[in-house]
Structure 1
């Protein structure tokens, strides 16, 4: 395995594991009190809000200064946030750290995907990368729940250590490169699909024109019903995010931490399996998306009585739906701006909807809010798109 693969693969596992390690212990991090559902949702959503705000800007930055530099920023921000989450119990520090962790995610993923797209074995590498992405998410919630009885932040400490190891790989990688005449770094790993001048970023070297990017973004958003696909992703991830951010509080009376971690990790295992299955089917994208929506909504409804089945269905539905959505988006446009916009929809759902939904838990209760989010998700079945 070449050094850049080792860097990206180890980093995506650590980044995703650390992001999810907080989920089973959100009530403990938020503290006791009548405002704990809202605080839990804010701690959960802070990460996604940080990513939401920076995915597109950092994707543009990666085109301008080079992918490795932006990947480096993402890894560094993740490590810093992990350290502060590990050592502090102050809500302000925890909230800001989760936000900074989201900034790291926003920097890492656009640049990482861009690097992989240039490799000769990009298709295989993308599959391996996404497998480790979901494996990290599953490992984060599983070990957080299983190890919570030892010390509430045990899993967070473990994934912070893994992020530190990725940082060491990063130092070795950057030290192994030599600057060219422009002061940028040469790409030495030799697996690019196309020949580029040493250190040249993906974009040409003309002056940066924000107005041009804003116009491209606007055109893409309203092109061929793209906004409908974007809206479905917001609702899909928002509805499941409401459940994920509040389920630790809701299930405190009938699930132990290990049981909760195991149940949530099942969703990521299901997502891995459904993604593989959906990738091999010849069904239309529209059918795949709608089947995923039905499965995810059914999972939300089952969450009131059968947690393990519920999270498995949510993961299976989400894994299938996102594959159909990505394929549908790529038919509209496969540009970096289009993919960046699509990802902002996912993170808008994960970052904003749980906070909004938590406001209704006090007057309505958990079960009503969960049922309501499932029913809202089902309404997306009536959205017409090609």
Structure 2
């Protein structure tokens, strides 16, 4: 007996909304509970009669951002919440919000009021005029970039990052580091599989990879003061951005995540030598000093990688200690492989420096690949 698929006549249900959204606004958040009710209202005022939806993508904020969003959604059904547990990172949050969008056009902006929501209709008009991607720029004529920066040093740092990014993105945009942009949903679908889910500047990644293929336009906006919540900028995102920058310079040949892993490994060498010197100077014999120094370096490497390289999979609680044990085991295997490869290459007549470097590179690649799959596996 064949089963018939019965499709309900949704058009006849009076409880359904009368208009599908023309625009989805994605708000990636972390500790923005105070801002959510305000920004939802400001977006509604700015959009006027334009049908829209708001998707808050929250990285499991401890201040209850997700709960506040759901409370707002009870009286504002165009608001939705995606709560990400065990995943962190601005780029990944933006991508998840884009993929959940119901509208044919998607905008990304911060929830802290630094981005000017009144520019959304202007940006949407540019999309209607044929643009693929519209960027809210802090540097195009008629804008003031420094208004939202509390410190001059932060403003200068943002300008430097923008200058470095422009060396890769060229003339496609004056502000590749902007977090305020709008694009067609089909463009979002196209780029979703190619851009990095790590890091915090998804626009830079999109423009650096696909800039030549897209009709990119800009609208000016004034970068305003943050109202409440936490800034997403800091040492972590700066280091992640530098890794992404180098990766783009190499045409993606060297993954940004591996560069961060290697940078942490270099810092571990400094920790190792400092520990070895201190322990030896205290009168401890060399073998014991070397062993302890090795594990001190491994521990700091694990902690730094957990905070920087794999911040989007950050381990906490019991998982942190389990991860540390697996990290010890994997790096110990990598060390044995390092020795075996270096000795074999030396036996073939290679100079000492080349044999040593080959072993170190092999060990680094092994440690990165295996710890990524085992220690910081998804979850």
Higher strand share: 2
Higher helix share: 1
Larger radius of gyration: 2
Compute the TM-score of the two structures, normalised by the length of structure 2.
0.25
Compute the TM-score of the two structures, normalised by the length of structure 1.
0.24
